[in-house]
Amino acid sequence: MFKVRVNEETCIGCGNCTIICPKVFSLKNNGKAHAKSLTNEKCVLKAEKECPVKSIEVTKV
């Protein structure tokens, strides 16, 4: 299981994470990404790596 957090202060709304891992990430009306807080989807690790501004924090729980 992974705990996922998006830092809305730094997210630039590029949408990468929503393409890499659409079951977990979505873009909100304010243009920031939102993540399901707990998931088994391994793509969160790729999304974390590929975020251009390092706004995604994934912790194994």
For 7-55, strand residue ranges (E) read 25-27, 33-35, 38-39
- Contacts with ligand SF4 by CB under 6 A lie at 6, 11-17, 33, 51-53, 55-56
Measured from the CB of residue 54, what is the shortest distance to ligand SF4 in angstroms?
Answer: 8
Measured from the CB of residue 13, what is the shortest distance to ligand SF4 in angstroms?
Answer: 5
Measured from the CB of residue 1, what is the shortest distance to ligand SF4 in angstroms?
Answer: 20
Strand order in the sheet with 2-6: 38-39, 2-6, 56-60
